[in-house]
Structure 1
Amino acid sequence: MANIQDKIEQEREEARAVCDSTGSNSAECAAAWDAVEELQAEASHQKQSKPKTAFEKYCDDNPEADECRVYDD
């Protein structure tokens, strides 16, 4: 997760530089901030994803195990 936070900060700095040089109403400035927003959305999505439990990992590796069988009603 730290890697994506570093990337967000890098994109923010780049967006500020682009907006300073091209103006805050330019298409380049808007595109640069869109890239920041997309990275922030991805970071939020990754935060919401629950990590797998040890049992879930075990069942992924051993789907035929009795503990991992799923029965349909």
Structure 2
Amino acid sequence: MTTDYDKLIEQEKAEAKQICSINGDGSPQCAAAWDAVEEVQAAASHVQSKEKKPNSLQSYCADNPDAIECRIYED
């Protein structure tokens, strides 16, 4: 399954490779292009981590909010 982020990452990688082949691997333009790839990858990872399903305790507490295991104590 390919997401929009996967497509964007592939596009950024292709662009970074092209920029580096034109300007050289040690050029500031090349470094900036790869930084852009890393930023898109980080954004994709952040979105993916927010989409994770709740763990078993969270699911249990959603169904049983009055259970002893689900009590939340405030200071």
TM bin, normalised by shorter chain, reads: 0.5 to 0.7
Show the counterpart of 2:34.
33
Which whole-Å deviations, capped at 9, do the CAs of 1:13-61 have from their partners, x for residues lacking one? 00000000100000000000000000000010011003689xxxxxxxx
In 1: Cα distance, 2:32 partner to 2:13 partner: 12
Show the counterpart of 2:44.
43
Show the counterpart of 2:4.
3
SS where residue 22 of structure 2 aligns? helix
Where does structure 1 lack aligned partners over 5 or more consecutive residues? 54-72
TM-score relative to the length of structure 1 = 0.66
Identity of aligned residues (%): 46
In 1: Cα distance, 2:26 partner to 2:32 partner: 11
Read off the aligned partner of 1:10 and give its amino acid letter: Q
SS where residue 5 of structure 2 aligns? helix
- What's the C-alpha RMSD, in Å, of the aligned pairs? 2.1
- Off by >4 Å, runs of 4+ in structure 1: none
TM-score relative to the length of structure 2 = 0.65
Where does structure 2 lack aligned partners over 5 or more consecutive residues? 55-73
